[in-house]
Structure 1
């Protein structure tokens, strides 16, 4: 039962991941404005898919601090991308207050870079806000530091182009690729998105400074997306963790930030009526996952249905008898195989 449920989740995860990447490229390659209804529809759908995939990744327990990249199955490497895709989609939303979007996007990008650091895929150095501001002031005073900063930017741009070209070439060979080629593709894709995450964090950092200056100038100075009406509910980041302990240790790495663990996110969706309540029995057929969450067995469900039907027969239930008579009449008039005329004269 558990193996079947895990296999079902893995199949759904692969489908969600494929769709999320397709939506990402649709948004990136679109010639329409980001604020258009079509592109915003792609972005909103992308967020929903990535949040659902994040819940399933946590449920399957794919990531562990006791493992290295070499211990992971090739197909599982792509799930590293969920936080960075969520960060990118969130950055491009226009329907919420801009400062809120920046805050959530930063959580996602930092979570992605922290996880890739832990698995030896990146070596990003995290800085707290006070030291970062101090470094900026010092850099403004030093011409030498400006040159170093410029060289670093050029290197990041070169790395991004290199991995982008490699990903494009490997993607063309995926249909007939062996496991090693697929692994190289996923790792190259991760390296490409590591460059994007670092680049995006720098952009968001600059945008935060700009918003702070505009706020100091007064309410009339804020223009564009930052003038969106405030929302009643602030957005929350959904990170790949199972519970509060993992959230503090291996989530975004910043327990003081208002992030959701996946369990908190799921509980909230159940409370809002978006997800089914696993504690309440569902009427009608159940999937394997729904039955497991409800603590039921599908065999038990079938036995209960058979018992209910026998009880109705004993009581001469009119609805059941009428349905059975209709089925018999239909079978009399429509013999099995009559409709299949393939390869027959």
Structure 2
């Protein structure tokens, strides 16, 4: 099966306006540490996403990551003909700039939600494209892209659109279920591996580096850590974000579809309301007034003053009964008559015959006597080994 070829990583995060880089006077390493610290703060925050302070931190995080992206392009950290094996361990972490910005972008509360989701989708695409150029995407992820996400003519990832040959595989319920289970187990294993690597690096920290435990980049910037451990930590982190990015792209696509459907319903409702208002404007104003059922029916000169209905003589009694009758339906039969009908329909159980006679125990039946003895013995043993009240949940359900 042919694998999916991702587009070239676009420059999704635009360069800061003016002389943003010199204004901040921070290096790429310091700016990335700041952006990642803000990202971690948002992930661990107990504030609501609509909180002004949360939104302020999110905007600041995106601005910091935007400057990081600009510095990466300006310094030429990554080359188009390089793979992950050719990149320095300290520079691999900068592949995460776009995915950090994408996840932060989805937390923004803006007036145009669809535009925000589209920007986040482009950032996820840029991250996956960069990983593909670095040969970090494995075959499972590429197969998942083939079955669930394909590249259209505009070089954008379109979740949920599959080719005809792949649609049967993607829509097979059993295959989709097994795929979800496998991806869940893989993500769980990746998180466990990441936690283990962080623990190993923390144990290798120098004594004078213990005060940097609260630093968000302490794992990557630990001078006492082994180079292979740091590289494995970075690649494992990238692999984890690859898995979450694939799922996030599908979620973004579904949310954008819901927003499009909502806009369509709103526009159709607005057009229907305007059409109804136009029809009401063409109606006779007298016909829209409420009918007055009070006052005389005719004037002294015989002019009809209000609408009325001529009822046939045979129906007048029924109309009067409906006006002056009870407010509920009266019974049509007595209780005894109803019970007799139910008995005829067989809705009542009757009879049953005499109760069965109890069989007197036979003293000569040794098997029955032994069974009774064993049963009594087992009950005694159960009471001996089971304390009184054991298993009582005290009404906890």
Q: Is 1:215 matched up with 2:263?
A: yes
1:39 to 54, 78, 84: 54
Q: Shift in Å at residue 138 of structure 1?
A: 10
Distance in 2 between residues matched to 1:190 and 1:111, nearest whole Å: 13
Match of 1:127 in 2: 150
> Cα gap change, 1:204/1:137 in structure 2, threshold over 3 Å: closer, same or farther?
farther
1:153 to 162, 170, 180: 180
> Cα gap change, 1:32/1:219 in structure 2, threshold over 3 Å: closer, same or farther?
farther
Listed as ranges, the matches of 1:1-345 within 5 Å are: 12-122=27-137, 123-124=141-142, 125=145, 126-128=149-151, 135=162, 145-172=172-199, 173=201, 174=219, 175=222, 176-219=224-267
> Cα gap change, 1:220/1:157 in structure 2, threshold over 3 Å: closer, same or farther?
farther
Secondary structure of residue in 2 paired with 1:33? coil
What is the CA RMSD across the aligned residues, in angstroms?
A: 3.1
Q: Shift in Å at residue 16 of structure 1?
A: 1.5
Q: Verify the 8 A CA contact 2:159 2:253 in the aligned structure 1.
A: no
> Cα gap change, 1:96/1:53 in structure 2, threshold over 3 Å: closer, same or farther?
farther
- Greater C-alpha Rg: 2
Equivalent residue pairs, number:
214
Distance in 2 between residues matched to 1:102 and 1:144, nearest whole Å: 25
> Cα gap change, 1:28/1:136 in structure 2, threshold over 3 Å: closer, same or farther?
farther
Distance in 1 between residues matched to 2:115 and 2:250, nearest whole Å: 17
Unpaired runs of 5+ residues, structure 2, are 1-23, 202-218, 270-397
Q: Shift in Å at residue 141 of structure 1?
A: 8.5
Q: Verify the 8 A CA contact 2:150 2:161 in the aligned structure 1.
A: no
> Cα gap change, 1:96/1:137 in structure 2, threshold over 3 Å: closer, same or farther?
farther
> Cα gap change, 1:207/1:127 in structure 2, threshold over 3 Å: closer, same or farther?
same
- Which digits, 9 at most, give the CA deviation of each residue in 1:57-96, with x for residues without a partner? 1111011121111111110000000111111111110024
Distance in 2 between residues matched to 1:193 and 1:132, nearest whole Å: 17
Distance in 2 between residues matched to 1:168 and 1:216, nearest whole Å: 46
Distance in 2 between residues matched to 1:209 and 1:25, nearest whole Å: 29
Q: Shift in Å at residue 201 of structure 1?
A: 0.2
| Greater helix content | 1
Distance in 2 between residues matched to 1:71 and 1:98, nearest whole Å: 39
Distance in 2 between residues matched to 1:49 and 1:142, nearest whole Å: 42
> Cα gap change, 1:74/1:99 in structure 2, threshold over 3 Å: closer, same or farther?
same
Distance in 2 between residues matched to 1:29 and 1:220, nearest whole Å: 41
> Cα gap change, 1:109/1:143 in structure 2, threshold over 3 Å: closer, same or farther?
closer
Distance in 2 between residues matched to 1:72 and 1:10, nearest whole Å: 25
> Cα gap change, 1:29/1:62 in structure 2, threshold over 3 Å: closer, same or farther?
same
Distance in 1 between residues matched to 2:72 and 2:162, nearest whole Å: 37
> Cα gap change, 1:184/1:208 in structure 2, threshold over 3 Å: closer, same or farther?
same
Q: Verify the 8 A CA contact 2:58 2:107 in the aligned structure 1.
A: yes
Distance in 2 between residues matched to 1:40 and 1:213, nearest whole Å: 27
Distance in 1 between residues matched to 2:128 and 2:256, nearest whole Å: 20
